[in-house]
């Protein structure tokens, strides 16, 4: 039985919360685009055989050239992304070769996710889980608010902030995307785990990694620069 692992990288977003400019995946971190960091980290995981990037639709050729020298150890496909994250993932799913049995989905906007986390997610799928998402404890106090009034303070102990890479048995992820397409209403969905959950499959949480945080707002980029400097000083890369 074939059990190849592909990593899908949705990278077609504009990065509106980061502010005006180049699409977020192509913004620089330590002089290198976020997307290049993300692809390098995935390709560095020995388990990953293929990386499929969903690029901004008008920049497919540029992205292909950009990544040419950075996918050592894994094959690379670049496809045009869609208008939402889910549609970008769907476009990449459609490009997977038959022999792929396990699919990771990893945001280009999480450039510093450790290789160990990639390995841990794949290992949990291989061990039998249909869907695996990394989660970290929530550290802020969380309240439900209506208008300017607090209606509830939520017990944060059972809450987890969910990251990527997320890992799936391919058939489960494809079914979940098809089901979402059939029923519509996926505009507010921000991760693939949620689609699988809606389709009625169990989703397993493994410990996430602080450094797998998402670059969303300008301050996140400042933090990412600091983390990268510390890694480089430590000779990690």
Binding mask 36-65 for ligand CTP (x = CB under 6 A): ------------------x-----------
Q: Is 14 in the site for ligand CTP (CB under 6 A)?
A: yes
Rule CB under 6 A: choose which of 108, 125, 172, 224 binds ligand CTP: 108
**Given the complex with Mg ion, which of 13 and 134 has the nearer CB atom?**
13
Torsion of CA 86, 91, 97, 98, to 10 degrees: 60
CB atoms within 10 A of CB 36: 22
Q: Is 24 in the site for ligand CTP (CB under 6 A)?
A: yes
Longest dimension (CA), the chain: 56
User: Residue 7, Cα to own-chain centre: how many angstroms?
Assistant: 9
Q: How far is the CB of 24 from Mg ion (least distance, A)?
A: 9
Rule CB under 6 A: choose which of 71, 85, 90, 177 binds ligand CTP: 85
- Please state the length of the chain: 237
Binding mask 12-31 for Mg ion (x = CB under 5 A): -x------------------
Q: Is 111 in the site for ligand CTP (CB under 6 A)?
A: no
Q: Is 176 in the site for ligand CTP (CB under 6 A)?
A: no
- d(Cα 8, Cα 131) in Å, to the nearest integer? 15
CB atoms within 10 A of CB 221: 19
Q: Is 218 in the site for ligand CTP (CB under 6 A)?
A: no
Q: Is 11 in the site for ligand CTP (CB under 6 A)?
A: yes
Which of these, 3, 81, 78, lies nearest to 39 by C-alpha position? 78
Interior/surface letters 189-205, b for 16+ CB within 10 angstroms, e for the rest: bebbbbbbbebebebbb
Residues that bind Mg ion (CB under 5 A): 13
């Amino acid at each position: 039985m074939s059990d190849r692992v592909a990593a899908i990288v949705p990278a077609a977003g504009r990065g509106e919360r980061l502010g005006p400019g180049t699409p977020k995946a192509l913004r620089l971190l330590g002089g290198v685009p976020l997307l290049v960091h993300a692809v390098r980290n995935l390709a560095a995981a020995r388990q990953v055989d293929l990386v499929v990037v969903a690029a901004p639709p008008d920049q497919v050729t540029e992205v292909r050239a950009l990544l040419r020298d950075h996918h050592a150890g894994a094959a690379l496909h670049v496809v045009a992304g869609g208008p939402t994250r889910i549609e970008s993932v769907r476009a990449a799913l459609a490009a997977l070769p038959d022999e792929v049995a396990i699919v990771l989905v990893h945001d280009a906007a999480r450039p510093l996710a450790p290789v160990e986390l990639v390995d841990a997610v794949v290992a949990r799928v291989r061990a039998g889980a249909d869907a695996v998402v990394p989660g970290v404890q929530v550290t802020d106090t969380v309240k439900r608010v209506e208008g300017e009034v607090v209606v509830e303070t939520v017990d944060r102990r059972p809450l987890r902030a969910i990251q990527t890479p997320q890992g799936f048995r391919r058939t489960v992820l494809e079914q979940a995307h098809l089901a979402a397409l059939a029923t519509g209403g996926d505009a507010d969905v921000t991760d693939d785990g949620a689609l699988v959950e809606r389709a009625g499959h169990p989703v397993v949480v493994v410990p996430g990694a602080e450094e797998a945080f998402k670059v969303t707002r300008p301050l996140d980029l400042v933090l990412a620069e600091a983390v990268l400097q510390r890694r480089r000083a430590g000779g990690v890369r």
